């Protein structure tokens, strides 16, 4: 996996977990064409809340992401991301992705939280323990403009 200067269909983003038993360093967001169309429609739908000071975010069910806990991922993330980056476009082959390990327990309830300003964050929960997994926040509008 390598950082790309051009937009790709994969984003490596910093991630974390509330689990004391495993370490999550990153997630991969999959930017398919259907995902981009769906996100654009979601951004348009929540635009009406921009002036509402009491609006926090809208939550959508979304599973266009996978969290990973492979050994050595901290070094991989530091190699790909610049010091102040939370995410980057990456080239990712299926062979490379198969070397990454998933969390020990299956994840469920994948959510995409989007604020009225287009700032987003993914969350998911372990099926058995309900431990939380999340990504850094990222700007969906900026992401769509780059594509």
pLDDT digits (tens, 9 = 90+) for 77-128: 889 999 889 899 999 998 988 888 888 888 999 999 999 999 999 999 998 8
CA distance 11 to 54: 31
What phi-psi label fits residue 57: left (phi over 0), alpha (psi between -120 and 50 degrees) or beta?
beta
Has residue 73 got a pLDDT over 80?
no
Number of structural domains the chain divides into: 1
Task: Write down the H helix ranges in the chain.
Answer: 33-46, 73-80, 94-98, 140-146
Higher pLDDT, 60 or 72: 60
Has residue 8 got a pLDDT over 70?
yes
Residue range of the domain that includes 117:
2-146
**pLDDT of amino acid 71:** 67
Q: How many CA atoms lie within 13 A of 3 on its CB side?
A: 13
Q: How far apart are the first and last CA of the chain?
A: 20
């Amino acid at each position: 996996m390598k950082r790309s200067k051009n937009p790709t269909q994969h984003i490596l983003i910093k991630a974390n977990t509330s689990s004391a038993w495993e370490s999550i360093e990153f997630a991969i967001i999959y930017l398919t064409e259907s995902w981009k169309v769906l996100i654009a429609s979601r951004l348009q739908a929540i635009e009406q809340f921009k002036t509402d000071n009491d609006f926090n975010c809208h939550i959508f069910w979304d599973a266009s992401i996978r969290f990973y806990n492979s050994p050595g991922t901290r070094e991989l993330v530091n190699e790909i991301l610049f010091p102040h980056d939370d995410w980057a476009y990456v080239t990712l082959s299926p062979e490379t992705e198969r070397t990454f390990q998933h969390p020990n327990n299956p994840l469920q309830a994948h959510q995409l939280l989007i604020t009225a300003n287009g700032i987003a964050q993914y969350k998911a929960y372990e099926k058995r323990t309900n431990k939380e997994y999340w990504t850094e926040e990222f700007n969906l509008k900026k992401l769509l403009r780059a594509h």
